Structure 1
Amino acid sequence: MHLDQLDRRILAELQRDGRITNQALAERVGLSATPCLRRVKLLEAAGIIKGYVAMVDQKAVDLPVSVFISIKLERQREEELDRFAGAVARWPEVMECYLMTGQRDYLLRVVCADLPAYEQFLKDKLTRLDGVASIESSFALAQVKHTNVLPIA
């Protein structure tokens, strides 16, 4: 699907406020309500809009610790990569996981309540995976920036 300027403005507005009414969205982007809703539905059907979520403050729900974990696997064969990715996908503590280039194979962002909770995650899950050669953890001291808004406008 080719995105024109109206589509991009719609996406920019929805990224800022996913709960905006269709009428308000239409007014902000300069369309009437019906064509605006049609475009939103097309963006959803094309998979450009993946869904709508509430952004929850991790500290407010007692998960103040963010840990960035670099993982090196023993081998980088497809089956080992798939096995690791499948395991990580089942763990709710893992907020993000990236297959990387360079010295490490994966980079994870994990959230937890405190150091003992992270230790439990490490012992019960990460270290029990076959094929993990090394694990390096870095604890975030402060979050300087976080956004889900892509610079598409």
Structure 2
Amino acid sequence: MDAIDRKIVSLLRDNGRLSQETLAQRVHLSRPAVHERVKRLEEQGILRGYQALVDWEALGLPITAFIWVRTSGTQCHEVGQLLMRLGNQESIVEECHRVTGEWCMLLKVRVALPLALQALIDRIRAVPDVQATMTTLALSTLNARVSGDEEVLG
């Protein structure tokens, strides 16, 4: 993977809907050359898919929180899969990361209201093998992955 491939990955990470023509202009190659590079990046598993960026506030889930989870035993993968399914109309577990240190997992969650966060934490604590949680609310998010070259505080 060279610098041009890295630039293509970066551009597609920022906006997965960029046309190959636009990519070609931005990396200063022909469209067929960009097509071949994108195809190769997909075949190598570097580009695994394309996704939509969600406006969580417009979706009714404006609050972001991070929940540290400590488990007993070694069934972290199974517990993580259970945690990912705990969402409902007022909350969603967006990401679950296995981490090192004092805690076993870090969840990124989106909720509608503080009471929805409380209810989600209660459901998390009720999962077998979950010993403890610690929650941090995000006040704002610095998002450097937006179209264009500017960073946005949202």
1:50 aligns with 48
Identity %: 32
2:112 aligns with 113
Give the distance between the partners of 2:96 and 2:144, measured in 1 at CA. 17
State the Cα RMSD in Å: 1.8
User: Is 1:22 the counterpart of 2:17 in the alignment?
Assistant: no
Give the distance between the partners of 2:144 and 2:30, measured in 1 at CA. 29
**18-27 vs 83-92, greater mean Cα deviation:** 83-92
Give the distance between the partners of 1:45 and 1:22, measured in 2 at CA. 17
Give the distance between the partners of 1:117 and 1:87, measured in 2 at CA. 18
Q: After the TM superposition, which segments of 4 or more aligned residues of structure 1 sit over 3 Å from their partners?
A: none
Give the distance between the partners of 2:37 and 2:60, measured in 1 at CA. 39
1:104 aligns with 103
Give the distance between the partners of 1:47 and 1:74, measured in 2 at CA. 34
Give per-residue Cα distances to partners, 1:96-145, cap 9 Å, x unaligned.
2111111111111111100121222223x3122111111111222222x1
Give per-residue Cα distances to partners, 1:28-83, cap 9 Å, x unaligned.
212111121011011112111121122122112111111111111122x2xx2122
The residue identity in structure 1 corresponding to 2:50 is: Y
User: Is 1:85 the counterpart of 2:112 in the alignment?
Assistant: no
Higher relative contact order at CA 8 Å, sep ≥6: structure 1 or structure 2? Answer: 1
2:38 aligns with 40
2:143 aligns with 146
**90-99 vs 55-64, greater mean Cα deviation:** 90-99
1:11 aligns with 9
User: Is 1:74 the counterpart of 2:72 in the alignment?
Assistant: yes
Unaligned runs of 5+ in 1: none
Q: How many pairs does the alignment contain?
A: 142
Give the distance between the partners of 1:59 and 1:27, measured in 2 at CA. 34
Unaligned runs of 5+ in 2: 147-154
Give the distance between the partners of 1:139 and 1:28, measured in 2 at CA. 38
User: TM-score, normalising length from structure 2?
Assistant: 0.82
1:16–1:139 distance in 2 versus 1, CA, 3 Å: closer
